[in-house]
Each structure stands twice: as structure tokens, then as C-alpha cells.
């Protein structure tokens, strides 16, 4: 529309695409993802949820510490390592994977929310909605991982040989593992679009992954069948890597392998999620 035409018209309410709105550029994937992550984080931002989110790792720490004390053995660790140094990393991985699984539920809830329908009619990159979902749950996971470390230090005197850097590295590595696994659940949510089925599959998948591993019991002490599974379980490798991190003896190979496997997982699941993500 020309200026003359615009002036010739009576005052318009609400203004159409005029000077004010046409100055808006187009938003990029980054802006969109930031804006949408803020939105996805909102449900986590109330006092009740913040407290429960903090307490969850506490319950897990106390529970497993108690159970394992009865067994009288540090899980999967060499004798000279402190007991909590083996337990805290396992709890970190469990926490991060659980948060990743939550991303699938989050997406299902989003799909039920008509806001997502509106997003699909906007000229945005739809992948930003999925990225935002994964980042919001990663942020929640980060908060929980920090609380695991802090609580372990306060209650069990968690002060591993790897020091602060080792603990930070463990947190980041767990975060990466959880975030990359969140894409499995986002992908399944986008494909299945059914909360009940997704929850069943999530349980079916996460329990063996988390517990048929070296998280709490050394695989050497397991019966053969379970031992083979636990030793091949990718979560066992994640546990080992995080334990090496807190022990301060992580190798470059270990680090590189973990990062590579995580990124490969995202590279497979994210494009499938993107392609199957629709509202109708």
C-alpha cells in the first residue's frame, strides 16, 4: 500500500500491516526457540513445582543410599572409591534420563493445547517448537542435577577426587545424555501422538535401561543373561563416563565417545521428529 492510499483511508483500528508492523523483520530459529523455551518453562516456574523438582533427587539419593548400604557394597566401583562417588553419578544419569522422558509427555500436552495449532499457522520454523520443548526439559534437568550434587555434598559429604571441575563435568555430561535421550521421547510423542501409549513405552524403555545397568550393582555379580545386557547397556557406559568424570580420570576417548553417541542420537531422532510433527 502506498503512503497516499494509507492517508486517504480513515483511521483504522486495528491497524493492518502498516508502518508499525511491517518494520518487524522475520524472526530466526534462535529467537523463536528462545521465545518458545520461555513459554515451555512456564509450567515449571511455580513454587510447588520448584520444590518438588528439588526434592525428587533428594528422595532418590536417600532411598538408594539406604538400600545400597544394606548391600554393603559400593555399586560398580573399585573398593578404594568413596561409596557416594559411585552413587551420585548414577543418580545424576537417572535424573537426566527421567527429565528427558518428560519431554515426550510435555509434547503430548502441547499437542492437546490449541496454542500449538496457532503456532502452526505462523510463518515460523516449526522445529523451534520441538527445540524449545527439549531445552525447557534440559533446563529443568540442569536444576535437578545441581541439586543432586549439592544434596550429595551436604548429606553424604560428596567431595570426589575430580573436584569441582569433575562434578561440573559430570553435570554437563549427564545433561547431554538426558537431552539427547529426550529426542527419543520427543520423536515417539510426535509419531504416536497418544499420551497413554507413550507413557507405557516410556516405562518399558526407561526401567530396563536405567536398572539393568551398572548403576547400583556391579554387572560381574549378576547372572549371565542380565550381565550381558547390563554390560551392553548404553546407560552403563554413560554411568562409567560420569563416574570417571567425578573421579577425575576421564579419558579423551571416553569423553569423545559419549559426546559422539549423544549427538548421533539427536541427529537420527530430531529430523524424524521434525517431519512427523503436525497438529492435525
Judged by the rule CB under 8 A, the positions of this chain that interact with other proteins are: 9, 12-18, 20-21, 23-27, 31-32, 35-36, 38-39, 42-43, 113-115, 117-124, 279-280
Place of cell 520423536: 187
**Closest CB 35 distance from other proteins, rounded Å:** 4
Q: Measured from the CB of residue 39, what is the shortest distance to other proteins in angstroms?
A: 6
**Cell, residue 207:** 526401567
| Dihedral angle sign, alpha carbons of residues 231, 233, 238, 239 | negative
Q: Are 170 and 245 in contact (CB under 8 A)?
A: yes
How far apart CA 133 and CA 185 sit, in angstroms, is: 11
Our CB check for other proteins shows the closer of 25 and 225 to be: 25
Nearest to 185 by CA among 279, 112, 74, 109: 109
Q: Which is nearer to other proteins, 64 or 119 (CB)?
A: 119
Query: What is the grid cell recorded at 58?
Result: 533428594
Task: Report, in Å, the least distance between residue 183 CB and other proteins.
Answer: 22
Considering beta carbons, is residue 115 or 204 the nearer one to other proteins?
115
Q: Toward other proteins, which CB reaches closer, 72 or 123?
A: 123
Shortest approach of other proteins to residue 41 CB, angstroms?
10
CA Rg, the chain, in Å? 23
Smallest gap from residue 95 Cβ to other proteins (A): 24
Is 123 or 225 the residue whose CB approaches other proteins more closely?
Answer: 123
Amino acid at each position: 500500500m502506498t503512503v497516499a492510499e494509507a492517508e486517504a483511508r480513515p483511521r483504522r483500528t486495528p491497524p493492518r500491516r502498516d508502518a508499525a508492523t511491517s518494520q518487524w523483520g522475520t524472526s530466526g530459529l534462535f529467537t523463536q526457540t528462545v521465545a518458545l523455551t520461555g513459554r515451555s518453562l512456564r509450567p515449571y516456574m511455580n513454587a510447588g513445582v520448584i520444590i518438588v523438582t528439588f526434592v525428587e533427587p533428594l528422595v532418590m539419593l536417600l532411598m538408594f543410599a539406604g538400600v545400597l548400604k544394606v548391600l554393603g557394597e559400593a555399586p560398580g566401583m573399585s573398593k578404594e572409591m568413596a561409596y557416594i562417588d559411585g552413587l551420585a553419578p548414577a543418580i545424576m544419569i537417572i535424573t537426566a534420563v527421567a527429565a528427558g522422558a518428560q519431554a515426550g509427555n510435555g509434547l503430548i500436552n502441547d499437542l492437546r493445547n490449541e496454542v500449538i495449532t496457532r503456532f502452526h499457522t505462523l510463518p515460523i520454523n516449526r522445529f523451534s517448537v520441538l527445540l524449545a520443548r527439549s531445552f525447557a526439559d534440559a533446563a529443568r534437568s540442569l536444576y535437578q542435577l545441581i541439586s543432586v550434587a549439592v544434596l550429595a555434598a551436604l548429606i553424604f559429604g560428596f567431595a570426589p577426587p575430580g573436584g569441582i571441575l569433575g562434578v561440573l563435568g559430570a553435570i554437563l555430561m549427564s545433561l547431554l545424555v538426558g537431552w539427547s535421550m529426550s529426542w527419543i521421547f520427543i520423536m515417539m510423542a510426535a509419531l504416536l501422538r497418544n499420551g497413554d501409549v507413550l507413557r507405557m513405552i516410556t516405562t518399558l524403555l526407561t526401567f530396563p535401561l536405567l536398572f539393568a545397568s551398572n548403576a547400583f550393582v556391579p554387572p560381574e555379580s549378576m547372572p549371565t543373561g542380565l550381565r550381558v545386557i547390563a554390560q551392553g547397556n548404553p546407560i552403563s557406559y554413560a554411568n562409567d563416563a560420569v563416574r570417571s568424570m567425578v573421579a577425575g580420570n576421564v579419558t579423551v576417548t571416553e569423553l569423545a565417545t559419549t559426546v559422539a553417541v549423544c549427538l548421533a542420537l539427536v541427529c537420527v531422532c530430531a529430523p524424524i521428529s521434525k517431519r512427523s510433527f503436525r497438529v492435525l
